[in-house]
């Protein structure tokens, strides 16, 4: 139930504003000297799209004519559509379910195979849905956005909802699918297109938050009303079970299942992006019951009827003496709470030290599994409750790579781990939660040549003295004379951790050609837990930018590279980071890839999902916070007389999370000032700026042609 920017589409952060209609209401106060560009916020306005097409044509004509482009696109496509990929899956009833895309199946196949077959080198797959065929038949650019399944243990049947997005938007429709008959149910549950959230509370009942009409959305554009919807009745007859205020971010449903099979309906009232009120919704229709837990906390699930909770703030439970710390994993017995509606004794499950952070909490049959970061290096723990205490033990991993739990379920003893590092392609490990055996199941062949490459972790002091870690991958025989083309990547927000990971496209298109790659673990992320994130909130956000600048300066001081050969890249919140770096240190880089960015920080809260991020950035309607935002807003700090590196703006028309108007408007200022820039806006693709792997290969090739030109010059690839 962790709420991060990477999981907005699957959890509570849903906008019900039509994606083809911009929210262009001006702020309640404060005139903007750049209001003449408001027309660019009309997502599919004729004038705006005419400008987009002109810029796309100009950029594509230039970059695609480069002698490197065709090779880059082919190499990226080979990596992204290769059949030599691990088919990660979820287990349901002895079957492994997988979504698969390749060069032939561009939109993808949803398929399954038996567990025994899955363990072989050539599983025998059974196709459930061919999304290319479905899209052609229905005249839609369908993108599979996942499924949600309820296991009816009485009948041993699985009831499934499939989410479909037209063009990659966050907005989806949900259709009930019969996984035995392999067909959508004409009389089953079907929802209209919206950014919605639904959960099963029984085989014939859903909890759903959607756009119920005028007044049913929060100021952030998300549902504020949850209803109970019975099978066989129209959606209009669903009964409201909880409503929240328009000033809240959203309300979303979730369920907990007791050991005796009882399903408990719940709602998360997201008061802000990072604070939540948790409600139990009694089945008898009585009033919702509030859990007496801190607003900065996340429910992780039930284990032995103990409710596990991650804390993002210090907490001393009322009437109890034990003080818990930010980052702790705690629990309490849920049955006493259900009976008394008061808080039972809270127990400490796990406490990370100052160099650690809990990255994942999952529940498998018979145990709780954790993935923790220790100085941004992953470890995994098995946790069990023995009597009245909690005990943990390490799960031995095959090296010092990064583990990630890709599947676990309370009903299943099989757990799937992914394991990789910068130079080691992913491998799938199977862990048995009963026997504790960890065995290799599948592994990937290399996607690029790692000969002579080394990985090193460094730390550098930020402006306030904080030590900031970063990883550098480069050839071991380079000369430290400032000439190595170097790409620096970071994110720095929403408690999202960036960890060592294998990228075939970075390796093939950049490292193989002599470039160095740097991953910076700046504040704003979750690499050292909630405190690392909270250090960069709102008025403290300059710390994040100081961290990034410190890493860039360290790379130059070490003579790995120089400003002439140093480029930077970031997307979404990382796109904001790129925009800030354009203004604050244009002298430090020679290439800036600005992907699906936020750039107008005085209007971001009026555009699409922007209002929900006020807890991260601050509000332009609060004078003190607006004054700070004015100092960092890339759109408002652009100066026509300033010297800038040539930027490359990348966005998507159908990004219904971060408005494409952000990228359009800053690029337009470059155009008006006769400054060079590149701009590519994918008409489809959603927040990833690519609806499928073929489009992603094209976007990647464009970016690396640009980076190679800017940082390596016009010479042929090595």
- What the block records as the tokens of 549 is 């600048």
Q: Which residues of 687-705 are buried (b: 16+ CB within 10 A; e: fewer)?
A: bbbbbbbbbbbbbbbbbbb
Partners of residue 111 on adjacent β-strands: 98, 127
Length of the chain equals 718
Q: For residues 108 and 99, is the Cβ–Cβ distance under 8 A?
A: yes
Q: For residues 431 and 417, is the Cβ–Cβ distance under 8 A?
A: yes
**Is 29 among the residues known to form the active site?**
no
Q: For residues 309 and 326, is the Cβ–Cβ distance under 8 A?
A: no
Report the C-alpha gap between 426 and 438 in whole angstroms: 16
Report the C-alpha gap between 516 and 502 in whole angstroms: 14
Partners of residue 402 on adjacent β-strands: 420
Q: Residue 45 to residues 42, 166, 712: CA-CA distances in angstroms? A: 5, 19, 38
| 418 closest CA partner among 374, 471, 380 | 380
| 703 closest CA partner among 14, 76, 38 | 76
Q: Which helix (H) or strand (E) is 308 found in, with range?
A: strand 306-311
Q: For residues 480 and 562, is the Cβ–Cβ distance under 8 A?
A: no
- What does the radius of gyration of the chain's CA atoms come to, in whole angstroms? 25
Report the C-alpha gap between 160 and 174 in whole angstroms: 10
| 180 closest CA partner among 201, 142, 199, 152 | 152
Secondary structure letter of residue 525 according to DSSP: B
Partners of residue 159 on adjacent β-strands: 150
- What the block records as the tokens of 330 is 């705690």
Decide: helix, strand or coil at residue 605: helix
Report the C-alpha gap between 644 and 653 in whole angstroms: 26
Alpha-helical (H) ranges within 249-404 are: 334-340
Q: Which of 503, 572, 612, 652 is catalytic?
A: 572
Alpha-helical (H) ranges within 28-121 are: 46-64, 69-80, 115-118
Q: For residues 615 and 664, is the Cβ–Cβ distance under 8 A?
A: no
Decide: helix, strand or coil at residue 165: strand
- For residue 279, is it left (φ>0), alpha (ψ between -120 and 50) or beta? beta
- Beta strands at 591-595 and 566-571: parallel, antiparallel or unpaired: parallel
Neighbours of 492 (CB within 10 A): 26
Residue 205: phi, psi to the nearest 5?
-140, 135
CA 656 and chain centroid, separation: 14
- For residue 701, is it left (φ>0), alpha (ψ between -120 and 50) or beta? alpha
Report the C-alpha gap between 622 and 240 in whole angstroms: 34
**Is 533 among the residues known to form the active site?**
no
Q: Which of 15, 163, 687, 688 is catalytic?
A: 687
Active site residues: 572, 687
């Amino acid at each position: 139930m962790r709420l991060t920017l990477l999981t907005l589409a699957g959890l509570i952060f849903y906008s019900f504003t039509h994606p083809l209609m911009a929210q262009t209401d001006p702020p309640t106060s404060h005139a903007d000297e750049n209001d003449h560009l408001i027309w660019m916020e009309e997502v599919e306005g004729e004038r705006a799209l005419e400008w987009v097409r002109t810029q796309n044509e100009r950029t594509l004509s230039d970059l695609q004519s480069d002698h490197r482009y065709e090779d880059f696109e082919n190499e990226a496509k080979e990596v992204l559509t290769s059949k030599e990929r691990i088919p990660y899956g979820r287990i349901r009833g002895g079957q492994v379910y997988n979504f698969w895309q390749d060069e032939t199946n561009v939109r993808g196949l949803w398929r399954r195979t038996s567990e025994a077959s899955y363990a072989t080198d050539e599983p025998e797959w059974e196709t459930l849905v061919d999304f290319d065929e479905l899209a052609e038949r229905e005249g839609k650019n369908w993108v599979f956005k996942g499924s949600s399944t309820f296991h009816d243990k009485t009948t041993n049947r699985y009831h499934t909802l499939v989410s479909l997005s037209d063009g990659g938007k966050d907005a989806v429709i949900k259709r009930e699918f019969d996984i035995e008959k392999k067909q959508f149910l004409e009389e089953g549950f079907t929802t209209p297109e919206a950014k919605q959230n639904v959960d099963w509370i029984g085989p014939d009942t859903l909890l759903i938050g959607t756009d119920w009409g005028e007044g049913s959305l929060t100021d952030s554009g998300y549902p504020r009303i949850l209803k109970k919807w019975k099978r066989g009745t129209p959606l209009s007859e669903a009964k409201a079970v909880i409503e929240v205020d328009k000033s809240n971010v959203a309300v979303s449903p979730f369920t907990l299942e007791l050991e005796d099979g009882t399903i408990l309906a719940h709602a998360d009232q997201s008061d802000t992006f990072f604070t939540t009120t948790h409600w139990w919704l009694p089945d008898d229709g009585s009033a919702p019951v509030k859990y007496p837990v801190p607003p900065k906390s996340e429910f992780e699930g039930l284990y032995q009827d103990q409710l596990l909770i991650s804390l993002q703030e210090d907490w001393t439970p009322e009437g109890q003496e034990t003080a818990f710390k930010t980052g702790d994993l705690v629990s309490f017995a849920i049955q006493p709470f259900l009976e008394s509606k008061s808080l039972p004794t809270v127990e400490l499950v796990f406490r990370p030290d100052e160099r650690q952070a809990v990255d994942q909490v999952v529940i498998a049959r018979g145990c709780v599994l954790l993935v923790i970061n220790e100085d941004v290096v992953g470890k995994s723990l098995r946790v069990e409750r023995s009597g009245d205490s909690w005990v943990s033990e390490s799960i031995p991993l095959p090296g010092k790579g990064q583990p990630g739990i890709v599947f676990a379920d309370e009903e299943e003893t099989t757990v799937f781990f992914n394991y990789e590092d910068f130079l080691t392609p992913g491998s799938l490990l199977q862990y048995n939660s009963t026997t504790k055996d960890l065995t290799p199941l599948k592994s990937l062949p290399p996607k690029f040549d790692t000969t002579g490459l080394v990985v090193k972790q460094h730390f550098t002091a930020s402006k306030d003295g904080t030590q900031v870690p970063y990883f550098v991958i480069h050839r071991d025989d380079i000369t430290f004379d400032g000439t190595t083309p170097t790409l620096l990547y970071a994110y720095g927000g929403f408690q999202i951790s960036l960890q060592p990971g294998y990228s075939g496209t970075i390796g093939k298109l950049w490292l193989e050609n002599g470039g160095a790659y740097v991953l910076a673990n700046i504040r704003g992320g979750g690499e050292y837990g909630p405190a690392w994130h909270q250090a960069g909130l709102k008025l403290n956000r300059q710390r994040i930018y100081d961290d990034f600048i410190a890493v860039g300066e360290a790379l130059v001081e070490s003579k790995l590279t120089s400003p002439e050969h140093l480029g930077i890249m970031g997307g979404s919140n990382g796109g904001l980071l790129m925009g800030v770096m354009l203004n604050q240190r244009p002298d430090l880089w020679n290439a800036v890839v600005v992907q699906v960015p936020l750039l107008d920080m005085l209007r971001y809260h009026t555009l699409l999902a922007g209002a929900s991020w006020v807890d991260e950035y601050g509000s332009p309607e609060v004078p003190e916070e607006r004054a700070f935002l004015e100092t960092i807003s890339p759109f408002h700090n652009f100066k026509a007389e300033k010297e800038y590196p040539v930027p490359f703006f990348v966005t998507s028309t159908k990004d219904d999370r971060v408005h494409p108007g952000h990228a359009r408007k800053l690029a337009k200022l470059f155009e008006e000032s006769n400054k060079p820039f590149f701009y590519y806006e994918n008409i489809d693709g959603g927040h990833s700026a690519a609806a499928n792997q073929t489009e992603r290969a094209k976007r990647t090739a464009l970016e690396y042609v640009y980076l190679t030109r800017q940082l390596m010059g016009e010479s042929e690839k090595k």
